[in-house]
Amino acid sequence: MSDNFGFTETPASSGRELTYLEAIAEAIRLEMERDENVLVMGEDVGGGFGGAFKVTKGLAERFGDRRVLNTPIAELGFTGMASGMALMGLRPIIEMQFADFISTAFDSIVQFASTAHYRMDAAVPWVIRAPSDGGIRSGPFHSQNPEAWFVHTPGLKVVAPATPADAKGLLTAAIRDDNPVIYFEAKPLYRSLKSTVPAGEHVVPLGSAVIRRHGTDVTVISYGSMVHQVSAAAEAVEADGISTMVVDLRSLKPLDVETILEAAASTGKVVVTHAANRMAGVGAEIAALIAEEAFESLDGPIVRMGGADTPVPFSPPLEDAYRPDAAKIAGAIRELAAW
C-alpha cells in the first residue's frame, strides 16, 4: 500500500487501513480487553477528553476510571506511581503528553525502574508512550527526539515504529514485555499516514529490524518518521541509476545487530539518519557497530545525518534547515554512491 511519503508497505492479510494514531489506540484497547491488569494513566487521558492527541478517547467510558487514570501535571510522581503498580503486578501504559516532558520523570525511569530487575530481581512491566519528533512547527518544548538518553540506559527497552502496522504490533509487544519500555511514537505521522494494519492480535517482536526496500548500491538505516523521508530519497535517486536498500530499525534497544550488519555488508556503503540531533545520537552507535563488525565489507565512509546541535527551532525555515529531509538524504546517497 503506497502512501504520500513515497513508502511502500506490503499489505497484511485480513487487514484494514488505519491511521498511525488509530493503530496505537487499537493496540491499547485490545490489550486492555485481553488483560485486566493493563491500565492507562496520564494527563487528561480520561474524562471524555482522550489525551492531548485523542489516542485514549473512549477508553474511560469503556473501562471505567479505575483503569483510565487522570493524573496531575507531575510526570516524576505518576511515573514513580506506575513503577509501584508494576511491581504489584499491574501493567500501566503511561502517556507523556509530549516526549519532551519525559525529562521531568528521568529519576523514576533511569534510577529506579531501569535498575529494579538488577537490584531486586523484580519486573517493572510498564510502557511509556512518548509522542516525539518535530517538523510540525511546535518549537523546542514539543518537538524533541530524546531516545538516545534511554538507549544509553541499561535495563530499558526502546522502540520507534514507522508504520501503522508496526505502531500496533510494537505497542502490543511492549505492553506484554516484563521490562520497562519507552515507546516513541512519531507525532507527524498520527493522522497523515494511513496503511494496512492486521485485524485482531498483531505482535511485532522487540529487537527485530525490517528491510523496507532492497537495493545494491547504498544502504540507508533509519527509524520512526525519518524512514519515510529515506524511502522518498531512495525513489528520487533511482532515476540516477542508484539502487538503495532501506532498513527500518523499529527497535532501538535491543538492536537487530544481524540485520544491520548484513545490510551494511551487502552494499558496502552506509548512511545512517534520524530526526534527533546528530551529536551522540543513535546513529553514532549504529556507525560504531558497523565500523567494528563490518569494516572489511565497507567501500566508503559511514555517513551520519541528524538534526543540528541546537534546540529545535520554531521558525519554519529554521526547522527545515535543522532536520534531514528527503532532498538532503538523496544528496548524501548520491555523494556516497560516487565514492
Report the catalytic residues: 142
Question: Residue 291 half-sphere exposure, CB side, CA atoms within 13 Å?
Answer: 13
DSSP secondary structure letter of residue 107? I
Residue entry with cell 519528533: 133
String of DSSP letters for 104-115: GGHIIIIIIGGG
DSSP secondary structure letter of residue 96? P
Alpha carbons 109 and 318: distance in angstroms, whole number: 32
Q: Is the distance from CB of 148 to CB of 124 less than 8 angstroms?
A: no
Residue entry with cell 514485555: 177
> Which stretches of 7-132 are assigned E, i.e. beta strand?
15-19, 38-42, 68-70, 91-95, 127-132
Residue entry with cell 533509519: 222
Q: Is the distance from CB of 178 to CB of 206 less than 8 angstroms?
A: no
**How far from 108 is each of 9, 39, 86, 103, 115, CA to CA, in Å?**
37, 19, 13, 10, 10
Alpha carbons 117 and 28: distance in angstroms, whole number: 25
Alpha carbons 14 and 112: distance in angstroms, whole number: 41
Residue entry with cell 498511525: 20
Q: Is the distance from CB of 145 to CB of 322 less than 8 angstroms?
A: no
Return the closest-CA partner of residue 56 out of 82, 15, 22, 86: 22
